[in-house]
Structure 1
Amino acid sequence: MRLLAFFLLLSVVPVSASVFGQYAKVSLRVENVSLEKVMDILERSTDYRFVYQNSQVESVRDLTLNFKDTDIRDVMKECLKGSGLTFNVVGMNVVIVPLGEKQPVQQDVKKEKQVKGRVTDKGGLPVPGVSVLIDSTTIGVVTDIDGNYVLTYPEMKNVRLRFSFIGMQTKYVVVGNKTVINVILEEEINRLDEVVAVGYGTTKAKDMTGAVSRLGKKEIETAPMGASIQSMLQGRAPGVNVMISSASPTSPVSVIIRGSSSLSGDSQPLWVIDGVPEYSAGTSGNISNTLYNLNLTDVETIDILKDASATAIYGSRAANGVVLVTTKRGKKGMKPTLEFSARYGIQTMNANDFGVLNAEEYIALSKAAVRASFFTRGSLDYFTRKYIDETKFNASTNHSQFDLETLTDDFFLKDAYYDGDTDWWDLMTHNAATQEYSLGIRGGSKESSYSASFFYKDQKGIVKGGSSKLLGGSFNFDASIREVIRFKLGLRATSRVTNDKDDMISTILDMRPDYPAYLEDGSINMISYYVENPLFTLKNTDEGKGKDFTGSLGLEWDIIPGLTLRTNGTLKYGINKTLTYKRKYYDDGTSSSSVAKNENYTYVMG
């Protein structure tokens, strides 16, 4: 709760002495608003922040206030009059509590302390721009061009300074009774020596000259639940634009690197997984896109090649950039390591964000639109004739004196509107659960290493019936035949079942709320040939089943130091089946269905 959070923070967050003993003057004029609205206005117009429990203030409503240059304490007294609540100003925080409850006491102004010093590198040169921060607070300064800093802070216990700078190792120093602290920062060697895949081999990050972005363990582990290898790139790499159509488990995802390069093509990059190009990758979210089958828990790193150097290896296929995905493998001499991951989440959506109307609001808005259209045109058109009784209007109205008030409700057709009041969002959506499970083992001996994993992912959609279920496994084995010859084996197999309901979001948005969802006998209402009841659409089947297998065998030979010959053979097999079934939705209509099967084999040698 916000009140508890404030009491915890009060003991560690210092408050400037200049705020004690003086209170802001505020001007406020509102009518029939809630206390929460008043506090929101005051927070935006002053430096004060309000601390309270929602359940205690939500009953305080219908406040009418008119203040000009008034002490904020007087404003709050008026707001809380007769509410059973009181308040206390603590620094720049206004704490609201029930009458009789112990209130926080404003602390005395603490004494200030000061520490200063100089930050240099190992060679003794000053390091400007170093962040000097009191750990676990927001109090800090930045070193000047000579590496000097002076930090003034309220007196507190156990002060520890944090010195950080890009490319340098972060350093922590306990202040204690020291007033001068000089620090030497060292280069962050681990980051600079990190190995990056660049298509034609590997290089160290500090030696990189091309445009490459890398996503490592931290970025992959913090990917949102239900994310695919494509969607998790969103907002994580500069120059990479990721567009996700929706939160559906079968939502299309587009990845554009450094802008679109084609007017007619999809401009998607080439995806390479463990050295094997993924030719079935695309923007689709259905079973045809094998990138959805990749288990993020198995991924070690993702390197994005954004400049033209990628075409040196992959040719014109790399014109839109290359995304290199490296999966986890065992290491020689590594003890067997078992890894298990389980995640469960709930996905919700607030339909009110779309501003949908109920039946009464829709009818009122529709009638206003018909009147405006009729008055503007001076006559009825194809659409307004569906609502207005033209014969009755012509017989009763003098057109030369027609105005908006003339077109009363009596002129609207009796069957222009229906007697339903349907909340299509509530009827066709629900909170969707997502669950992911992954089990893996890695290890190695003196001459070989291995890794194996199995995973299961079940993701439901916000629209009822939408889903994606994925089951798969992988196995990698590396062995040294001789000191300069290495053998690599990789196997990956997946099975995915989807039920696509992506089009339902727009269908729900287009539906009139005055259409009854069901008839009196409980059957689904067949509205008309031109309007399909979304409940029929919801019951339609758009199911996909896909199985995918990839096997690769590689050999590496170190001819001389720095020169390695690599050869690799890959076999890919995929089979996809789709079933669609559309129910009849009007009286004279018919049902239809279709079944499609696609099977492919791919051999790649390189």
Structure 2
Amino acid sequence: MKKTYDRKGFKQKLLSKRKTVVTVTRLLIVLLLGCPLLARAGMRDSTRLEGYRVQGTVVDEKGIPLPGVTVRLDSTMLGVTTDNEGKFLLRLPQVRGVLVFSFVGYKTVKMKFEPDKLLYVRMKEDISELDEVTVVAYGEQSRRDVIGAMSIVKAADIKDIPSPSLANLLQGRVAGMSVINASGAPGGGGIVTTIRGFNSLSVEASQRHSEPLWVIDGVPMYSFTSPISGLNTLSEIDPKDIETVQVLKDAASAAIYGSRAANGVILITTKKGRLNQKAKVSLNVSRTFIFQPNLPDLTGGNRERYHRMEALKNQQEAYLDYENNVYKYPESYWESYENGVKYNYFWNMGDGATIPLYQDSLNPFYNNSTDLFDYYFRTAKVTDANIQVSGGGTNIAYNIGLGYYDEKGVLRGTGFSRVKLLSNLFVSPVEKMNMNLRFYLARTDRSRSSRDQNGYDFSTGSDLETIPSELLTTSTLWPGKGTPAFEEMINRFKGTIEKNDSYRARASFDASYEFVKGLTFKTSVAADYSQQNQNLFRPSYLDEYNESYSGGQIARAMMLLNENLLTYKHTFKNDHNVDILLGHSVQVNENHLVGGYGRKAPSDLIHYVSWYENVYDVNANRVLKDFHSDKERSTMVGLFGRLNYNYRQKYFVSVTVRRDASSKFGEDVRWATSRRMP
């Protein structure tokens, strides 16, 4: 005999059991913790308050009760949560007001209330963000279909912030992402960005080898500090051109890029025009002032004189007492004379008489309180101007942007400027065919305070730049601004001239065609060229040999990329959703470096090595000129695939496989495979 069930009775029994379990659970929590469950969320239980009663029921769009909905009085923390039947009861201290209903996955609802009136609240699902299309590795997906760990930062979140580096703008905006600045120099390097933690116990190795892979409009790019100028290469990208930033955190999201994505991936999408949109012009101009920091309080003038005199008086040397076989300090001038050691600095065979700077207190030349910090630091200024034109017609969309950024550092002699041009063009010449042409050109100029070093040879960029050593070593007793002595003191800082400029050109073109519904083939080519130029000049009056120095280096990097993608997306019987990707990638990298330096120019007016002869100084055994060059070339070929499957958008499976070959590997181990299984 076929057995039948009473569905309504069974549902009531199930809800009754569930309500009993919830009640017992709440009672146990109260007994164990000694406080109401709601108190842990920082919310007072309004049912314990004396006041006006407000009650009602909360349901979804289909009329099904919603348990666990937060109900609170607007602009307060007074509230409760709905029970298993979606009902709530509050006792409020006011007759009328507004209640706020919030629940994960549903839109927040605000409703006015009156005493002794039942409220019936219907909440709608908030699917706008879940249905939003977002950029993923090699394609786009609906956010509800993304199963990996991903964070998204939009242009509105980072606008109106005066910073040339995108990494700084992401600081504190992505959970689990760490951004550390090793230097505050404008446009300077030393920015350490980590997403998946440090990969070495060594601090220095972790900072250099934990950087994620940056991908701009599908073109990979590494962030690094230029060895020539110390420039942070991310500073060549204008944040005003960015539309969204997707941070792929886990291996599931980044596996499609292979071993390059071991430290995570950051996808950057630049702004584009929209189809059927009238021309739109936007202009942004800002001026920012950065006031000098709180400078250290210096002990100068007579106070420094007294301090140094006391220190010199206490400068003693110990001698060996042979009778007691111990070292001891002399206690008198006679004892120091007998043993040939210092009693104090001034009793040292007359050598103490050579320091009039501290002894001649009546000489006005040495009675100053000069503060070099006040000279070296200044009020910085930042100018940021950007103009963009975007729009589109039926089959074409465009976005063109021109920008200028100029920052003067708080340390005299430091600064960063950038001029850029961006062009994004979308064309659909025929049905089912789309093409994108992108072009980016930037010219940057970075000034930095030259270091005080005796032999320059080949000067290189540094992750961590320091303040001039004169700030910490020069006595405050010297005359101050406006005197010949002060001008002579800062000659090393003013006389050394360093020029750093770089050029960045990125271009990409892609075309896609949908052969049948869901089946699309896409091919793309991209080129990324960067060049950094540096020239450093030091006049002859700052050299121990009375010779000028001029050194220069040029570094060039070129990346060529070709990718071919075949994708298939289809839904079978409205339940089974399949997304298949097959891809092939070829990438070629070339790096060139040339540099040289020369000494003993005919004149300090010549800042570049344009003179001949004088290659070697035989008498001093010194090289007067030198030159070096370097070139590297590497190739990488990749085959990859990805399968995404979900059933009714409830159960998801994703499989990724990538196989790469690199010229950097040996012939017997040329290929390597990386995979990610669910």
Alignment of 1:261-280 (within 5 A): 261-262=199-200, 264=205, 265-279=208-222
| Equivalent pair of 1:254/1:283 in contact (CA under 8 Å) | no
Per-residue CA deviation, residues 219-259 of structure 1 (Å, 9 max, x unaligned), is 2225x312411111111112211011243312322211111
Give the 3-state SS of the residue equivalent to 1:272 in structure 2: strand
Question: Which residue in 2 is equivalent to 1:254?
Answer: 192
Rounded Cα–Cα distance in structure 1 between residues aligned with 2:309 and 2:178: 43
Question: Which residue in 1 is equivalent to 2:241?
Answer: 298
Question: Which residue in 2 is equivalent to 1:498?
Answer: 446
Per-residue CA deviation, residues 305-355 of structure 1 (Å, 9 max, x unaligned), is 122235543222222211110011112212222222122211124324x56
Give the 3-state SS of the residue equivalent to 1:189 in structure 2: coil
Inter-CA distance 398–593: structure 2 relative to 1 (3 Å threshold): closer
Alignment of 1:442-461 (within 5 A): 442-461=390-409
Inter-CA distance 334–178: structure 2 relative to 1 (3 Å threshold): farther
Question: Which residue in 2 is equivalent to 1:231?
Answer: 168
The CA deviation at 1:273 is 0.6
- 2:504 is matched with which residue: 521, 538, 548? 548
| Equivalent pair of 2:314/2:344 in contact (CA under 8 Å) | no
Letter in 1 for 2:184: A
Question: Which residue in 1 is equivalent to 2:515?
Answer: 559
Rounded Cα–Cα distance in structure 1 between residues aligned with 2:506 and 2:368: 54
Greater share of strand residues, 1 or 2? 2
| Equivalent pair of 1:287/1:576 in contact (CA under 8 Å) | no
The CA deviation at 1:173 is 2.3
Give the 3-state SS of the residue equivalent to 2:411 in structure 1: coil
Per-residue CA deviation, residues 10-43 of structure 1 (Å, 9 max, x unaligned), is xxxxxxxxxxxxxxxxxxxxxxxxxxxxxxxxxx
The CA deviation at 1:186 is 2.2
**Structure whose alpha-carbon radius of gyration is higher:** 2
Superposed CA RMSD in Å reads 3.9
Which has the higher mean CA deviation after the structures are superposed, 556-565 or 112-121? Answer: 112-121
Alignment of 1:379-418 (within 5 A): 394-395=333-334, 414-415=355-356, 417=358
Indicate whether 1:329 and 2:268 are aligned.
no
Rounded Cα–Cα distance in structure 1 between residues aligned with 2:527 and 2:274: 25
Indicate whether 1:122 and 2:61 are aligned.
yes
Letter in 1 for 2:217: D
Rounded Cα–Cα distance in structure 1 between residues aligned with 2:334 and 2:546: 39
Question: Which residue in 2 is equivalent to 1:84?
Answer: none
Question: Which residue in 2 is equivalent to 1:3?
Answer: none
| Equivalent pair of 1:517/1:535 in contact (CA under 8 Å) | no
Rounded Cα–Cα distance in structure 1 between residues aligned with 2:163 and 2:497: 22
Inter-CA distance 159–367: structure 2 relative to 1 (3 Å threshold): farther
Letter in 2 for 1:200: Y
Indicate whether 1:282 and 2:224 are aligned.
yes
Give the 3-state SS of the residue equivalent to 2:373 in structure 1: helix
- 1:595 is matched with which residue: 549, 552, 558? 552
The CA deviation at 1:488 is 1.1
Inter-CA distance 219–511: structure 2 relative to 1 (3 Å threshold): farther
Rounded Cα–Cα distance in structure 2 between residues aligned with 1:186 and 1:460: 52
The CA deviation at 1:196 is 2.4
Rounded Cα–Cα distance in structure 2 between residues aligned with 1:113 and 1:506: 70
Alignment of 1:54-69 (within 5 A): none
Give the 3-state SS of the residue equivalent to 2:532 in structure 1: strand
Structure 1: runs of 5 or more not aligned = 1-110, 381-389, 400-405, 527-532
Give the 3-state SS of the residue equivalent to 2:493 in structure 1: helix
Q: Between Structure 1 and Structure 2, how many residues are aligned?
A: 468
Inter-CA distance 365–194: structure 2 relative to 1 (3 Å threshold): farther
The CA deviation at 1:604 is 1.8
- 2:121 is matched with which residue: 179, 183, 193? 183
Inter-CA distance 371–572: structure 2 relative to 1 (3 Å threshold): same
Inter-CA distance 187–410: structure 2 relative to 1 (3 Å threshold): farther
Indicate whether 1:522 and 2:484 are aligned.
yes
The CA deviation at 1:138 is 4.2
Give the 3-state SS of the residue equivalent to 1:331 in structure 2: coil
Rounded Cα–Cα distance in structure 1 between residues aligned with 2:53 and 2:469: 64
The CA deviation at 1:290 is 3.5
| Equivalent pair of 1:356/1:509 in contact (CA under 8 Å) | no
Rounded Cα–Cα distance in structure 1 between residues aligned with 2:279 and 2:88: 49
Question: Which residue in 1 is equivalent to 2:132?
Answer: 194
Question: Which residue in 1 is equivalent to 2:670?
Answer: none
Question: Which residue in 2 is equivalent to 1:430?
Answer: 378
Rounded Cα–Cα distance in structure 1 between residues aligned with 2:356 and 2:380: 38
Letter in 2 for 1:595: G
Structure 2: runs of 5 or more not aligned = 1-49, 321-328, 359-365, 450-463, 564-678
| Equivalent pair of 1:420/1:513 in contact (CA under 8 Å) | no
| Equivalent pair of 2:286/2:384 in contact (CA under 8 Å) | yes
Rounded Cα–Cα distance in structure 1 between residues aligned with 2:310 and 2:55: 70
The CA deviation at 1:274 is 0.6
Per-residue CA deviation, residues 35-69 of structure 1 (Å, 9 max, x unaligned), is xxxxxxxxxxxxxxxxxxxxxxxxxxxxxxxxxxx
Rounded Cα–Cα distance in structure 1 between residues aligned with 2:90 and 2:538: 71
| Equivalent pair of 1:162/1:171 in contact (CA under 8 Å) | yes
Inter-CA distance 247–289: structure 2 relative to 1 (3 Å threshold): closer
| Equivalent pair of 1:504/1:538 in contact (CA under 8 Å) | no
- 2:101 is matched with which residue: 156, 163, 174? 163
Rounded Cα–Cα distance in structure 2 between residues aligned with 1:259 and 1:569: 33
Question: Which residue in 2 is equivalent to 1:309?
Answer: 252
| Equivalent pair of 1:546/1:576 in contact (CA under 8 Å) | yes
Give the 3-state SS of the residue equivalent to 1:427 in structure 2: helix
Rounded Cα–Cα distance in structure 1 between residues aligned with 2:376 and 2:115: 65
Alignment of 1:468-507 (within 5 A): 468-501=416-449, 503-505=465-467, 507=469
Rounded Cα–Cα distance in structure 2 between residues aligned with 1:549 and 1:151: 63
Which has the higher mean CA deviation after the structures are superposed, 191-200 or 268-277? Answer: 191-200
The CA deviation at 1:409 is 11
Question: Which residue in 1 is equivalent to 2:561?
Answer: 604
Rounded Cα–Cα distance in structure 2 between residues aligned with 1:587 and 1:334: 67
Give the 3-state SS of the residue equivalent to 1:206 in structure 2: helix
Per-residue CA deviation, residues 387-412 of structure 1 (Å, 9 max, x unaligned), is xxx9996448899xxxxxx9899999
Rounded Cα–Cα distance in structure 1 between residues aligned with 2:468 and 2:119: 62
Which has the higher mean CA deviation after the structures are superposed, 176-185 or 161-170? Answer: 176-185
Rounded Cα–Cα distance in structure 1 between residues aligned with 2:61 and 2:311: 75
Inter-CA distance 534–324: structure 2 relative to 1 (3 Å threshold): farther
Rounded Cα–Cα distance in structure 1 between residues aligned with 2:76 and 2:305: 54
Letter in 1 for 2:371: D
| Equivalent pair of 1:258/1:306 in contact (CA under 8 Å) | yes
Inter-CA distance 480–581: structure 2 relative to 1 (3 Å threshold): same
Per-residue CA deviation, residues 513-560 of structure 1 (Å, 9 max, x unaligned), is 52526598424466xxxxxx5663355333211122111111112234
Letter in 2 for 1:594: G
Inter-CA distance 428–521: structure 2 relative to 1 (3 Å threshold): closer
Question: Which residue in 2 is equivalent to 1:403?
Answer: none
Inter-CA distance 195–588: structure 2 relative to 1 (3 Å threshold): same
Question: Which residue in 2 is equivalent to 1:573?
Answer: 529
